[in-house]
């Protein structure tokens, strides 16, 4: 379906009060972040039908200006400092705020999964300069519903930090100021040691950034849903088979997806498969930094032979993933920070051009993505996956206390067909636990 977007307003929203004018030096975890904007779509349905002040632009912009006082680096610009290191110039120049209109209803748009063409409609077009740190677009639909598109520069902050900002913005808008938690921009806890001490290897990162000439296969998205009951059964089985009592939802679902992928690919049994994922360090570093606003994640990888993954019980696969996460200790985190310091200005990146035996998992499980009530109710739907990379799986919670999990898979068509069959066959195996 062809849709034409009408831009009604485009402006910069600046902090409503004076903010510190300073240069914020980025940490080694910021330096290794992917240099692009993280984009998320929130759908808010106008349940009262035609309510005139639904998603008042004035209310949103006023609350945004106040939130930017607390989260002032977002209103700054990304620059390269004198020593060649990334910095944020906290100059209060503001965030881009776009208001648009689309002559179609929410029910006529396929949000799950969303095509790349439709997805692009709901985000501001990035200006030639990529120094903007936050871009927002509020799109009014014909039915009265609203789509909020957020685009946050990953160089400054990860998903958890961004969620903290959006949560604060919405609370200010609805007048709930008592539960607001101020962020911390202090990068000191993530500084390198002197002298550096590197006691681990980091196979999920690379220094050779030369691109391969092989063109990736075209891929598509498919949505799989796990109910709360299915997840409960899966975790019971994982705990039983791995001899533990604390297999997390992420570990259990990741193990399921990894096993299904290896089966679907039909890889040689001796092939090594690697599962890449990120883990939050905020509560794993000592002392913890729970309110840290920045990049607080490290990429990890679990490795095993394909034959072991496909023939093992799901709990044993979960145990392989869990062992890697359990290894994310304070010493591991500090060793990685020191490793980045020793590498200096060498370009370090997460491995992106993975082989067909490998899989990446991106997760926002447990993040307060639905705690975004600007005064007109929480979003009915959140979409953040993008169909641009093959062999990537996105995990996120569904809304509601009794809701399950959405598993959005990006694969080439032949692998997807087989993955779907294997996935549902696996679910049947533990349905009676």
Catalytic residue (choose from 154, 186, 371, 412): 154
Q: Tell me: the pLDDT tens digits for 49-73? A: 656 689 999 999 999 999 999 999 9
pLDDT confidence of residue 213: 41
Is 326 among the catalytic positions? no
Residues of the chain below pLDDT 70:
1-2, 48-52, 126-130, 206-217, 345-353, 387-388, 430-433
Q: How far is CA 297 from CA 162, 214, 260, in A?
A: 13, 30, 26
Is 89 among the catalytic positions? no
Give phi and psi for 230, each to the nearest 5.
-65, -40
Which domains does the chain show, CATH number per domain? 5-185 (3.30.559.10), 216-429 (3.30.559.10)
Catalytic residue (choose from 89, 186, 373, 412): 373
Using only C-alpha atoms, the chain has a radius of gyration, in whole angstroms, of 22
Rounded to 10 degrees, the C-alpha dihedral 36/126/27/344 comes to 70
Count of CA atoms in the C-beta half-sphere (13 A) of 406: 20
Q: Tell me: the pLDDT tens digits for 302-320? A: 999 999 999 999 999 999 9
**Could you tell me which of 238, 206, 200, 242 has the C-alpha nearest to residue 327?**
200
User: Looking only at Cα atoms, what is the longest distance across the chain?
Assistant: 63
The C-alpha atoms of residue 409 and residue 391 are separated, in whole angstroms, by: 8
Prior bond to 195 cis, omega within 30?
Answer: yes
The pTM for the full model equals 0.92
DSSP 251-301: HHHHHHHHHHHHHHHT--TT-EEEEEEEEE-TTTSSS--TTB-S--EEEEE
């Amino acid at each position: 379906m062809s849709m034409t977007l009408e831009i009604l307003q485009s402006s910069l929203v600046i902090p409503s009060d004076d903010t510190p004018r300073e240069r914020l030096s980025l940490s080694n975890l910021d330096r290794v972040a992917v240099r692009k904007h993280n984009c998320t779509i929130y759908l808010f349905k106008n349940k009262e039908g035609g309510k005139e002040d639904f998603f008042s632009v004035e209310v949103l912009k006023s609350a945004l200006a106040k939130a930017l006082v607390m989260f002032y680096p977002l209103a700054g610009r990304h620059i390269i400092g004198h020593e060649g290191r990334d910095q944020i110039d906290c100059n209060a120049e503001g965030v881009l705020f776009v208001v648009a209109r689309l002559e179609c209803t929410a029910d006529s748009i396929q949000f799950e999964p969303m095509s790349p063409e439709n997805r692009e409609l709901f985000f501001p077009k990035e200006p030639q300069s990529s120094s903007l740190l936050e871009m927002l677009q509020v799109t009014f639909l014909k039915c009265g519903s609203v789509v909020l598109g957020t685009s946050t520069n990953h160089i400054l902050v990860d998903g958890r930090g961004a969620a903290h900002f959006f949560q604060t913005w919405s609370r200010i808008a609805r007048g709930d100021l008592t539960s607001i938690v101020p962020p911390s921009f202090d990068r000191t806890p993530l500084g390198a040691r002197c002298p550096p001490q590197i006691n681990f290897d980091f196979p999920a990162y690379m220094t050779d950034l030369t691109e391969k000439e092989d063109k990736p296969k075209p891929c598509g998205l498919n949505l799989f849903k796990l109910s709360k009951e299915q997840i409960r059964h899966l975790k019971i089985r994982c705990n039983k088979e791995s001899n533990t009592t604390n297999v997390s939802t992420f570990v259990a679902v990741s193990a399921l997806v990894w096993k299904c992928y290896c089966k679907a690919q039909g890889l040689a049994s001796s092939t090594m498969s690697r599962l890449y994922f990120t883990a939050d360090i905020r509560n794993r570093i000592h002392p913890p930094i729970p309110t840290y606003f920045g990049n607080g994640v490290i990429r990890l990888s679990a490795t095993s032979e394909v034959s072991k993954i496909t023939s093992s019980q799901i709990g044993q696969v979960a145990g392989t993933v869990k062992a890697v996460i359990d290894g994310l200790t304070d010493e591991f985190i500090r060793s990685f920070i020191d490793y980045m310091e020793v590498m200096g200005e060498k370009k370090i990146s997460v491995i992106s051009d993975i082989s067909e035996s490998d899989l990446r998992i991106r997760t926002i499980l447990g993040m307060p993505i639905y705690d975004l009530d600007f005064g007109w109710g929480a979003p009915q739907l959140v979409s953040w996956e993008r169909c641009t990379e093959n062999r990537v799986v996105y995990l996120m919670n569904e809304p509601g206390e009794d809701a399950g999990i959405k598993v959005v898979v990006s694969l080439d068509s032949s692998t997807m067909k087989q993955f779907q069959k294997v996935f549902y066959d696996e679910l049947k195996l533990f349905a009676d636990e």
